[in-house]
Structure 1
Amino acid sequence: MIMFDDILAELEQIFLRHDGALSLRERRESFYVNRDLRGRVALVWDAASREQMDVNRRAALEALCADMAETLGNHAFPADLMPIESEAPFTAEQSGAVVFTYGENLPFTVVDRMLTESSWSSRATEDSLSKRMIVFFSIKGGVGRSTALAVAAWHLAQQGKRVMVVDMDLESPGLSSSLLPDDRRPDYGLLDWLVEDVVENGDEVLERLFATSPLADGSRGEIVVIPAHGRRYGDYIAKMGRAWMYRMDGEKRISWPQRLRTLLHQLDGQHAPDCLLIDARAGLDEIASASVLDLAPRLVLLFALEGTQTWTGYSILFNHWNTIGQARNIRESLQMVAAMIPPLENKQPYVQRLRENAWECFREQLYDALPAGEEEQDAFSYDCNDEVAPHNPWIIHWHQGLSALKQLHTLESTLDAAQIQGTFPFLRNLDEAFREEA
């Protein structure tokens, strides 16, 4: 029985079987594979191209469709409903879908219909915000990601930078209220804007969407917070069910990640931040993918605790990028972070295990494969202990005082500057990253 995971590999073998009769390699622009919301695939063929086929070619195309239906079973459209005819180029048909190329021996285009309009399948084009944006992401929650982001914001503000913090963890809001005491919270939050923008009310929310955090009081810089929700969170659950809607601009469809990116540009015009720190949703859902890929940040910090759950999660993600041919577009923005290193007498074995497991994930899915003993100057490949490799973790230690801290805006009353620097060595890596960009 063919399962969902088998579909694309089986399709490549089917196309190879029929390549001789249909010249599929040369006709890649004439067809694509559509995979619907139920996981069923259909062959879509250019109507004009089919019209020009002789009898033998038409018979070969019907044989291909019959092979798809028989081999893939319930995961394919019936043979008598294929091929679906359309007019190439297929730009309109690909709107709102994830589009990628699959296959090494006979590559073909897949148009994947998804319930949401954000995915882990491609990275957006970089823009003027990308170089100033850092996303804090983790496979699992509870790894100190939000605390590390608050510390990074404090550190950058101490250097005189204007920092914008965006709480994208809408399903589990916490950073917002932790950085902003009650008397500083704005009327609205990011969720309000996403809902109001769909009905073209976004501008009404924009001026009451942000506030400054007391965490930066007394520093040379400033921390501007875009919270998940405002002073009054209202009917939060009902709003969550509508936040991911697209908006129509005339006949143009604007997905919610595109809307989010537009908002950040508007806020950038208002506040002109030196850097943007994005607290992404933990896990592999669509909110996290929008932060990591649709915003095209220059740097994505991958928080990790040493353990099977961590590496299974990152392996799933990296394997997806490798399978659909997107690894090269994404990998250079990634950086592993060893989060909340336990207070062991000797921490080095723990860090080394984490480094080795991170290296295995990167080596198998993201690094270029090189023959043993050979090196290529432009190859994206690193040894396990290479200190500048993205798998080599930036370090954050566990601290008992921080684990009991309820409000991040009181950070300096819990730890002095020297203790913060000692607990969060990754701040030095951040400084170096900004220096390299400059």
Structure 2
Amino acid sequence: MKRVVVTGLGTVNPLGNDVTTFWNNIKAGKNAGQKITRFDASKFRSQVACQVQEFDPSGVLDRNEIKRTDLFTQYALVSAVQAMEDSNLDLTAIDPFDIGVIWGVGQGGMQTFESEVENYVNGDYTPRFNPFFIPKLLVNMAAGMISMKYGLQGINYTPVSACATGNTAIMDAFNYIRLGKAKVFVTGGSEAGITSASFGGFSAMKAMSTRNDDPQTASRPFDKERDGFVMGEGGAALILEEYEHAKARGAKIYAELVGAAMTADAYHMTSPHPEGLGAAKAMQLAIEEAGLTPKDVDYLNLHATSTPVGDIAELNAVQKVFGADSNLHVSSTKSMTGHLLGAAAAIEAIIAIKSINDNVVPATTNVTELDENIPADIRVVTNQSLEKEVKVAMSNAFGFGGHNATVVFKKYEG
């Protein structure tokens, strides 16, 4: 199996429209929660979200391209352009069939779908749909547009595993490179789900926080008073590269991707297994594939979304894998960014990588009192980031349908 390294990063998300701003805000414990401005949410139970601010895709797309793409594709393209520039890849020196795009999206063009259907229903029912209606809403269009932007002719598709999607995409790209089927992948995920129908659906499930009077503290994983997640949006891109290829061109290497695994709970449509059996197995398999032991892992970025059931189920899984005798610290950065759905794992992969680069474990913010059901031997970093040597960092992502996905990054040592 070939080695795989990370040579480029890019992001657009509620805490920053580039990696440096994003990471500095994560370390500082900034929170992106606010009252929704994208649409009138006054009639919904939940009225808060983490929205991308001051986003301008015109530096990447021309006016016609913007009209022909949904917001989730625009987030993908801007993130991918940042990552490609960061990687300093010379595309003239590599066969375009050796570079692929595996890009995760959970919902696709929700705003496009809503606006087109609304226009149809509110009109005279004459079928005057936009000719770009279907291309704009398709979940695979982000991957397609990234490939067209750069002429990348290798493996190209979009996996969907709900909120585990970002890690699923990263894992697939990792495996294709290891098998020698590509030298480079643009991978990650994007989502633009802050729309009236998408938001309303989650609100109707009573899955989201109703702390509408205090949006910045609404996302509070592990806190005794947590009452649901806060929706976020955005995208993040990683350039994964075969190690020898990266080394030969003198690439900057952020970290090595050493393990990844997926399992299924086979339990419930929307709830995790209460004992975290599937999640525990995914973590165990990813660690084993990396050639490591649980004692080698320094930091785990948890999926924990701030739901009463999900947070504890995940920590039960962590306890099964790591026990009391470990070097592990854990946190949930969704307390700051909100939950980016299909893009969540992509931005959290960047956080795991940057924690290795800077030897910093970011905090779970907004914790006033820890839930008494949290296992006592799990060290949750709360409210202030922790300076600590991080040689190995993991990131969990779980999705409706019982999907579990874990990735493991290691400090690059040549």
Provide TM-score, normalisation by structure 1. 0.25
Q: Which has the larger radius of gyration?
A: 1
* Structure with greater contact order relative to length (CA < 8 Å, sep ≥ 6): 2
Provide TM-score, normalisation by structure 2. 0.26
